[in-house]
Structure 1
Amino acid sequence: MTDNQYQPELPRHMSFGWLIAVLGADMASTLDKHLKEIGLNIGLWPTLFALWEEDGLTQSELTSRCNTAHYTTTRLLDSLEKMELVERRPHPTSRRAHLVYLTEKGRELESKAAPLAKQCNEEFLSALSSSERAQITGLVKKVIAGRNPKLKL
């Protein structure tokens, strides 16, 4: 090897970042395939998931909970409105803000989408025991919270 060649400190298969990126991309692709069966896609998932957890959030709250850029949230909400899954309503105390609510169609979609996500998680975690599943979930949440304590987990 010459002095000009870069030698990584860790091989790729030992890099936490690379492993998480591979796993995340694979999980996102798999969930996207499942969601397309019901007319959704992976891009819409975080916003819908947040609203199924708590309806009536502001766009800023959705941006924070989904860890997306403000303009991305705006674009996603526009798409969800066109699909008649959400509606924006005026905020009772702010002239500038709107609250985002699921429509009946959006609420009903949860009963189809949630089992698909559960199936995807099960597929990816099937090699782990229940205690290992709890451990890996807890450790990843700890890493995320350490990097982004404002993100609501």
Structure 2
Amino acid sequence: MTKKFERLDSFGWLINVLASQATKELDHELKPYNLTAALWPTMMCLWEQEGITQRDIAAKAKVENSTTTRTLDKLEKLGMVERKPDPNSRRSYHIYLTEKGRAMKPDLEQIPLQVNKRLLSHLSVEEQQILLPLLAKMVEKI
């Protein structure tokens, strides 16, 4: 007998609902800084390591290279990042934070921690310690 499809048994649907809620909350918290959840992964990558290429950022953030191009364009217009030509390649640029981008880190890095805490608050510490490594394992394989 074939099992009936149940929405609450759908991994994709559940993850999508959680991701949408996380994005909505993160967007709300980042709005005073003129940032969005879509810009967030690039900022995190650059806080971890400056001077990497757009391709490196796309790979680390797990997004398409074209998405990273648009993200960098927006961050550049906001005065948060700058592109510097790669001396070894006419087509490649290294991405650096500006002083403004670096200065925002202490305020901004607390925001996702607060959003995560709210979203995970319905789980016990033990449940969180099971869930997060499993999700990280799945993301690592993508």
TM-score by length of 2: 0.91
Given the alignment of the two structures, is residue 23 of structure 1 paired with residue 18 of structure 2, yes or no?
Answer: yes
SS at match of 2:109: helix
| Structure exhibiting the larger radius of gyration computed from Cα positions | 1
* Amino acid of the structure 2 residue aligned with 1:119: Q
Alignment match, 2:73: 78
Misfit runs of 4+, over 3 Å: none
Distance in structure 2 (CA, Å) of the matches to 1:67 and 1:34 = 23
Task: List alignment gaps of at least 5 residues for structure 1.
Answer: 1-6, 149-153
Alignment match, 2:63: 68
Task: List alignment gaps of at least 5 residues for structure 2.
Answer: none
1:1-153 alignment runs, 5 A limit: 9-146=4-141, 148=142
Q: Root-mean-square deviation (CA), in Å?
A: 1.6
Deviation per CA, 1:14-44: give whole Å up to 9, x if none: 1111111111111111111001022211111
Deviation per CA, 1:72-115: give whole Å up to 9, x if none: 11111111111110001121322221100000100111111111
* Amino acid of the structure 2 residue aligned with 1:12: R
Distance in structure 1 (CA, Å) of the matches to 2:101 and 2:4 = 48
Identity of aligned residues (%): 40
SS at match of 1:29: helix
Query: What is the number of residues matched between the two proteins?
Result: 141
